[in-house]
Amino acid sequence: MALGSALISASSSAYFNFEELPPFVIEKLPVRFEALWLVSLRVHVAAAALAFPLCIALATRTLQRRAALHRWLGRLAGVVVLFALVPSGAVLAFDAKGGAFVSAGFLLSGAIVAWFMTRGVLAARRRDLVRHRRAMLHVFAQMSVAVTSRALLIGLDAAGMSPGVAYVVALWGPVLVSAAAAELLSSSSPLSNASKRMGHVFGKIALAVRPRSLSRPVARLGR
């Protein structure tokens, strides 16, 4: 995944050539609000090049053991995602190849990222590691769509699928599969299972220590 992210970032460096427009941009033009679209494209590419590697690094045990560094890098990733990546992606989505259905897929993926990033930040502030991990799994999964969707699109094109159908399948497939995989992984994680087991234990203790069982020793002491 890190290699795929690096390859996409390297291939996107042409977007920052302000003297000559790359073929992809020329192919897309004209678009509505051209200046806004160009700025959004460059912001989106730069934000993705920073945020996705950060999310990969934050998922490693090395950074998770270093709480202070993990916290500050996580804040940086959150700011980049919420205030650069998602808004610029929303602007670009309306002119995406594949029509309205593909635009809706990009908007849904961006909404999932924004929702779970916000929940993850709030959970981290509460030190709720179970919910934080679940939220970050969803963020990472949706951000990985950029890599898996590109790879799937290349495969579908090689298989001879029509471009219109290929764009829909290559986007919606990874978006939905990534969301389902993140949910399954978070619900079966050791941390989540440990939390559930602790909940069951405390529940049994609460049932065992009922008010009636407490009142009997008190009554005996009073006799």
Q: What local confidence, expressed as pLDDT, does residue 194 receive?
A: 45
The model's confidence at residue 11, banded by pLDDT at 50, 70 and 90, is low
Give domain limits for the chain.
2-188, 192-223
The model's confidence at residue 33, banded by pLDDT at 50, 70 and 90, is confident
52-69 confidence digits (pLDDT tens): 999 999 999 999 999 999
Report long-range pairs for 95-104 (Cβ below 8 Å, ≥24 apart). Answer: 95/28, 95/31, 95/32, 95/37, 96/167, 97/163, 97/167, 98/164, 98/167, 98/168, 98/171, 99/164, 101/168, 101/172, 102/167, 102/168, 102/171
Report the predicted TM-score, pTM, of the whole model to 2 decimal places: 0.78
pLDDT at 195 over 50: no
The model's confidence at residue 219, banded by pLDDT at 50, 70 and 90, is very low
Percentage of the residues of the chain whose pLDDT score is greater than 70:
77
Give the mean model confidence (pLDDT) for residues 142-148.
94
pLDDT at 89 over 70: yes
pLDDT at 221 over 60: no
The model's confidence at residue 32, banded by pLDDT at 50, 70 and 90, is confident
Q: What local confidence, expressed as pLDDT, does residue 190 receive?
A: 53
